[in-house]
Chain A
Amino acid sequence: MSIAARSIGASLNRIEGREKVIGEALYAYEHRQDDVAYAAIVQATVAKGRIRSLDGSAALAVPGVLAVLSHEDAPSLGDAEGELALFQSDRVAYRGQIVAAVVADSFESARYAERLVRIDYEEEPHDVELRADHPRLYKPDQVNPTYATDTEQGDVDAALAAAEVTVDTTYETPSFHNNPMEPHASLAVWDGDGGLTVYDSTQGSAPARETIARVLGLEPERVRVVAPHVGGGFGSKGDVRPQAILAALAAQAVGRPVKVAVTRQQMFDVTGYRTPIVQRVRLGAERDGRLTAIVHDVFEQTSTLEEFAEQTAVVTRMMYASRTRRTTHRLVALDVPTPSWMRAPGECPGMYALESALDELAVASGVDPIEVRIRNEPDLDPESGVPFSSRNLVACLRVGAERFGWADRDPTPGARRDGTWLSGTGVASSTYPARRRGSQASARREADGRFVVRVAAADIGTGARTVLTQVAADALEVEPERVTVEVGDSAFGQAPVAGGSAGTASWGTAVHRACRQLVESGDDEARVDTTEEVEGQESYSRHAFGAQFVEVRVNAETGEVRVPRVLGVFAAGTIVNPKTARSQFIGGMTMGLGMALLEEGILDPRFGDVVNHDLATYHVPVYADVEQIDAVWIDEEDDRLNPIGSKGIGEIGIVGTAAAVANAVHHATGVRFRRLPLRLDRVLTALNGVRHR
């Protein structure tokens, strides 16, 4: 290509930016339909039991109310499972489960009438508390998506017993809840022929089409899912959520298009969350910090409806060199909503524990935290023995150390005080798999010299549309202004979800191939499917790497933790668009700050659910919590990935950040906190304990 990579690497502004700022970009709930009706969700108020009776008469008496939906008269959804099996039984599996809905000709009437539905429950004792010694813990057949549940390498117990330095610690994280700016919403429209269009807040219109069709017993060709703009998802819109099915059922019931908006409060129950996790990490090492044993035991929850097994310890299988290693996952099925995807499922919580333990090893062995990581750098993927396609963790650590000023760091914990503020710094490694999935795409030459590229990608605020435009422009050897990339429509063919940080690599490969085929064939249209290409790729261990450096201040009198400085250094292959990439990295790290300091679903076991279900009581970071934050990346060329050479950047930012914060808090205070978040009450209580001792 004569003018290759002209657009890739440029900080192109977000293509739909203007549309979004002036309010023209339509999100799921905003699509217009004549004669639309509105459905409001009725949630269970017991955590376990059976609906003895349901009385919708008061709701139906409200002017404008069209229908009350429940298990009493819902159509049978033969192939629906778990959270999507709406109204299929009188059983209640968790508090907050959708048990009925009210459809009305206005949103207000539906919301009002929803509270008038009277449900009488036969309540049963519930069990909602995860414990590492829960008697009903079990070993799942696999963990997400298809990883082995447990792995063992060498005689780890002997290695632990013989180790000169050991760490044996347990880390606890609460439930974390995705809070994208756009709450989940769907608009369902049936046509006269039994075909269904769903405008949905989804991270994947094509897979959503398959799921919706299966649940409703339709041929996939009869279903279209449209999602041109999605206001964030972080994984919570990766699977079809119940509101999409509800919209379709309600529209069928009343013979009108129906909109469903999940409220912010309801999101905490019905849109998934990251499971609370207890992680025990044991490390054995030589005196110089070289690991001889790693044990990572994970205890987490799923629901009674379906199994969701977060792959928390999987990252420990590839991160550091060690002769011996064991990773295990145990689940308990509780009377809770089913956990689901949240930014970097597996890697995010797993690396919080592993990178905290590495810091404890650094302290225990007296080796610098960066050096201890460098000393444990493997030559091959440690457990599989497969070569890395590229691995630049050490470069990230070194570049970061230089930029952050690590060399001057006094490792002594609790030694820096300015007035009431203690200060410290911490580091953690980061990593995320560089996955790629098969995708279809098409490219068309227009009469006016423009090009239209279609791929059922999802732009959930990441800049996917913009990045794919750059990929297409370079493949077509034209200016990006001449390319229109259309995304977010299942009519564009098969394409994977925006998930697993695999969007650019997956959709981008297909877009690249389609555009090249168009150029090389000279035809007016080209269509490709990369499934075979992706399945046939060579075996390498493909991962992005990174390192976060964090400075914290901890107020000794109030327990407040503030973060004046965050630096992330990443090695993620080709960075297609520095502007949108920076936002991804910084956004991920900001979410990591929330995980470290603020976010926590507070369970009230008596009721069985999370009680702080709004943004006033479930705190996510605000601007003032983020002071100096920066993301940089090193040049990394890796031709074993995909035609673009990119590794995916949507999730790696959050991985490691919470550990870096907690490690910095230890450096500042001398107190090791092993339970997130580092809320000021816990910090103050611990600091007082230390002072009084």
Chain B
Amino acid sequence: MKPFRYERPQDATAAAALLEREPEATFLGGGTNLVDLMRLGVAQPSLLVDVTRVVDDRVEETADGGLRIGAGVRNSDLAAHPLVRERYPLLSSALLHGASGQLRNLATTGGNLLQRTRCVYFQDVTRPCNKREPGSGCPAREGEHHNLAILGWSEQCVATHPSDMAVALAALDAVVHTSRRSLPLVDLHRLPGDQPQHDTVLAHGELIEAVELPPLPFARRSRYVKVRERASFAFATVSVAAALDVEDEVVRDVRLALGGVAHKPWRATRAEEALRGSPASAEAFAAAADAELAEARPLRDNAYKLPLARNVVVRTLSELA
């Protein structure tokens, strides 16, 4: 890999200062994706600023009954946290559906959000890729894309965001606190548009410090369902994060997000709108899924994701109803 320097500052100010001076510097969390990308030559930072001692690694209850998750909390610890398991079981489940035990022990909350697509062209520096090398082209659109996006893609990029955790967080109205601002998690990641090189809206040197979950009492009844090509240790072809609040067989409220379908965790707002106040029936769930997927544009080899996403949404909601 390209030679790089490594720094381990003791506070966030020092970490930010290091990045400000150096455009090719980057933060290092657990390194489970970044180090791979460095080995592949996809990421070529001049400086790694290890922030694992800088960012909070605690999960704390907020005054309103939500949770504040430090960006340094390891995926394993977050999945096992009693308050997460009790109040947001879909988040715990999503985490445990991701990666492997060893990776979860290292991966951090902030780093998980910033992992990059596993599109085969992005990960191979001998091929064009607009995300890696803007303007070089997107071989995936006409090439190997059977597990890539059906929603929100652009001519420039059809990649998907690989995180399971982020799908659950998107459903839960999570808020991301950075060193400069707070923003809804669903606004953290971007659609590719004509700038697929930018996965998120974060500026250089902007550090994710924490993720906050607002209280959502009905999330105690929630699920994360992931469909993948083997039984474990594979990225989602489609995943569904859902929480459902049903009273008298009518949907009072719902949170729904899809993974494996777009450049960002896909909050299914259209489906949610269709469901609120509707009967908690398989027919209504199917209609809601169809509403969400109406704008889907499958590629040559991934049209199966349409019935797949529809089926998994219906099944997941039916099991919660």
With A625-B230, A681-B146 as contacts: A558 and B312 at CB distance below 8 Å? yes
With A622-B231, A625-B230 as contacts: A681 and B304 at CB distance below 8 Å? yes
Interface membership of A170, Cβ < 8 A:
no
Binary per-residue interface labels of chain B (1-14) against chain A in the complex, 1 for a CB within 8 Å, 0 otherwise:
11100000000000
By the criterion of a CB under 8 Å from any partner CB, how many residues of chain A are at the interface?
37
A265 and B127 CA atoms in complex are apart in Å by 14
Instruction: Name the interface residues of A93-126: CB closer than 8 Å to any CB of B.
Output: 108, 111-112, 115
Inter-chain contact A622/B230, CB cutoff 8 Å: yes
With A45-B126, A623-B232 as contacts: A684 and B121 at CB distance below 8 Å? no
Interface membership of B308, Cβ < 8 A:
yes
Interface membership of A6, Cβ < 8 A:
no
**Which chain B positions have C-beta within 8 A of A625?**
230-232
With A558-B312, A559-B308, A614-B123 as contacts: A112 and B230 at CB distance below 8 Å? no
Inter-chain contact A684/B229, CB cutoff 8 Å: no
Interface membership of A26, Cβ < 8 A:
no
Q: Which segment, of B21-29, B81-89, B197-205, B233-241, faces chain A?
A: B233-241
Residue of A nearest to B238 (CB): A558
Instruction: Name the interface residues of A596-631: CB closer than 8 Å to any CB of B.
Output: 597-598, 602, 604, 606-607, 611-614, 616-617, 619, 621-625
**Which chain A positions have C-beta within 8 A of B235?**
616
A622 and B232 CA atoms in complex are apart in Å by 7
Interface centre among B142, B144, B231, B305 (most CB of A within 10 A): B231
Inter-chain contact B231/A684, CB cutoff 8 Å: no
Inter-chain contact A558/B118, CB cutoff 8 Å: no
Interface membership of B17, Cβ < 8 A:
no
**Which chain B positions have C-beta within 8 A of A617?**
118, 120
Inter-chain contact A607/B302, CB cutoff 8 Å: no
Inter-chain contact B233/A622, CB cutoff 8 Å: yes
Inter-chain contact A559/B304, CB cutoff 8 Å: yes
Interface membership of B307, Cβ < 8 A:
yes
Inter-chain contact B230/A616, CB cutoff 8 Å: no
Inter-chain contact B120/A108, CB cutoff 8 Å: no
Inter-chain contact B144/A612, CB cutoff 8 Å: yes
Among the listed B41, B127, B232, B311, which residue makes an inter-chain contact with A558, where contact means beta carbons less than 8 Å apart? B311
With A115-B41, A681-B302 as contacts: A619 and B234 at CB distance below 8 Å? yes
Interface membership of A454, Cβ < 8 A:
no
Binary per-residue interface labels of chain B (26-45) against chain A in the complex, 1 for a CB within 8 Å, 0 otherwise:
00000000000001110000
Inter-chain contact B232/A688, CB cutoff 8 Å: no
Interface centre among B1, B118, B229, B301 (most CB of A within 10 A): B229
Binary per-residue interface labels of chain A (136-154) against chain B in the complex, 1 for a CB within 8 Å, 0 otherwise:
0000000000000000000
Q: Could you tell me the distance in whole angstroms from the C-beta of B142 to the nearest C-beta in chain A?
A: 8
Interface membership of B294, Cβ < 8 A:
no
Instruction: Name the interface residues of B293-319: CB closer than 8 Å to any CB of A.
Output: 301-305, 307-308, 311-312, 315
Inter-chain contact A688/B307, CB cutoff 8 Å: yes
With A607-B127, A623-B232, A680-B227 as contacts: A112 and B1 at CB distance below 8 Å? yes
Inter-chain contact B146/A115, CB cutoff 8 Å: no
Residue of A nearest to B312 (CB): A558
Residue of B nearest to A598 (CB): B230
Residue of B nearest to A682 (CB): B304
A688 and B123 CA atoms in complex are apart in Å by 33
Inter-chain contact B143/A624, CB cutoff 8 Å: no
Interface membership of B125, Cβ < 8 A:
yes
Instruction: Name the interface residues of A215-244: CB closer than 8 Å to any CB of B.
Output: none
Among the listed B121, B123, B230, B302, which residue makes an inter-chain contact with A624, where contact means beta carbons less than 8 Å apart? B230
Inter-chain contact B3/A604, CB cutoff 8 Å: no
Interface membership of B139, Cβ < 8 A:
yes
Interface membership of B194, Cβ < 8 A:
no
**Which chain A positions have C-beta within 8 A of B3?**
108, 112
A602 and B124 CA atoms in complex are apart in Å by 14
**Which chain B positions have C-beta within 8 A of A172?**
none
A251 and B303 CA atoms in complex are apart in Å by 52
Interface membership of A679, Cβ < 8 A:
yes
Q: Could you tell me the distance in whole angstroms from the C-beta of A473 to the nearest C-beta in chain B?
A: 39
Residue of B nearest to A555 (CB): B227
Among the listed A560, A616, A619, A679, which residue makes an inter-chain contact with B118, where contact means beta carbons less than 8 Å apart? A616
Inter-chain contact B304/A597, CB cutoff 8 Å: no
Inter-chain contact B304/A112, CB cutoff 8 Å: no
Residue of A nearest to B128 (CB): A607
Interface centre among A559, A613, A681 (most CB of B within 10 A): A681
Instruction: Name the interface residues of A416-450: CB closer than 8 Å to any CB of B.
Output: 420
Interface membership of A410, Cβ < 8 A:
no
A623 and B1 CA atoms in complex are apart in Å by 32
Inter-chain contact A607/B139, CB cutoff 8 Å: yes
Instruction: Name the interface residues of A243-295: CB closer than 8 Å to any CB of B.
Output: 265
**Which chain B positions have C-beta within 8 A of A622?**
230-233
Inter-chain contact B120/A560, CB cutoff 8 Å: no
**Which chain A positions have C-beta within 8 A of B2?**
112
Q: Could you tell me the distance in whole angstroms from the C-beta of A554 to the nearest C-beta in chain B?
A: 13
Inter-chain contact B1/A108, CB cutoff 8 Å: yes
A558 and B146 CA atoms in complex are apart in Å by 15
Inter-chain contact A558/B125, CB cutoff 8 Å: no
Inter-chain contact B144/A420, CB cutoff 8 Å: no
Instruction: Name the interface residues of A619-645: CB closer than 8 Å to any CB of B.
Output: 619, 621-625
Q: Could you tell me the distance in whole angstroms from the C-beta of B249 to the nearest C-beta in chain A?
A: 21
**Which chain A positions have C-beta within 8 A of B229?**
598, 619, 679-680
Interface membership of A557, Cβ < 8 A:
yes
Among the listed A606, A679, A684, which residue makes an inter-chain contact with B308, where contact means beta carbons less than 8 Å apart? A684
With A115-B41, A558-B308, A611-B121 as contacts: A604 and B230 at CB distance below 8 Å? no
A607 and B233 CA atoms in complex are apart in Å by 28
Q: Could you tell me the distance in whole angstroms from the C-beta of B139 to the nearest C-beta in chain A?
A: 7
Q: Could you tell me the distance in whole angstroms from the C-beta of B40 to the nearest C-beta in chain A?
A: 8
A263 and B9 CA atoms in complex are apart in Å by 33
Binary per-residue interface labels of chain B (131-172) against chain A in the complex, 1 for a CB within 8 Å, 0 otherwise:
000000001001110100000000000000000000000000
Instruction: Name the interface residues of B264-291: CB closer than 8 Å to any CB of A.
Output: none
Residue of B nearest to A96 (CB): B126
Q: Could you tell me the distance in whole angstroms from the C-beta of A568 to the nearest C-beta in chain B?
A: 20
Instruction: Name the interface residues of A669-684: CB closer than 8 Å to any CB of B.
Output: 679-681, 684
Residue of A nearest to B162 (CB): A616
Among the listed B127, B143, B230, B311, which residue makes an inter-chain contact with A597, where contact means beta carbons less than 8 Å apart? B230
Among the listed A45, A111, A619, which residue makes an inter-chain contact with B230, where contact means beta carbons less than 8 Å apart? A619
**Which chain A positions have C-beta within 8 A of B305?**
681
With A111-B1, A604-B143, A611-B144 as contacts: A557 and B232 at CB distance below 8 Å? no
Inter-chain contact A604/B125, CB cutoff 8 Å: no
A542 and B301 CA atoms in complex are apart in Å by 46
Inter-chain contact B227/A558, CB cutoff 8 Å: yes
Interface membership of A685, Cβ < 8 A:
yes
20 CB-based A-B contacts, threshold 8 Å: A108-B1, A265-B124, A557-B308, A557-B312, A598-B229, A602-B144, A606-B142, A606-B143, A607-B127, A611-B121, A611-B144, A613-B124, A616-B234, A616-B235, A622-B231, A622-B232, A622-B233, A624-B232, A624-B233, A625-B231
Q: A617-B118, A625-B232, A684-B304 are in contact. List 18 more A-B contacts (CB 8 A).
A: A45-B126, A111-B39, A265-B124, A557-B312, A604-B139, A611-B121, A612-B120, A621-B230, A622-B231, A624-B231, A625-B231, A679-B229, A680-B304, A680-B308, A684-B307, A684-B308, A685-B303, A685-B304
Q: Which 10 A-B pairs have the closest CB atoms?
A: A624-B232, A624-B231, A557-B311, A681-B304, A611-B120, A625-B231, A45-B126, A558-B227, A604-B143, A622-B233
Binding site for A on B (CB under 8 A): 1-3, 39-41, 118, 120-121, 123-127, 139, 142-144, 146, 227, 229-235, 237, 301-305, 307-308, 311-312, 315
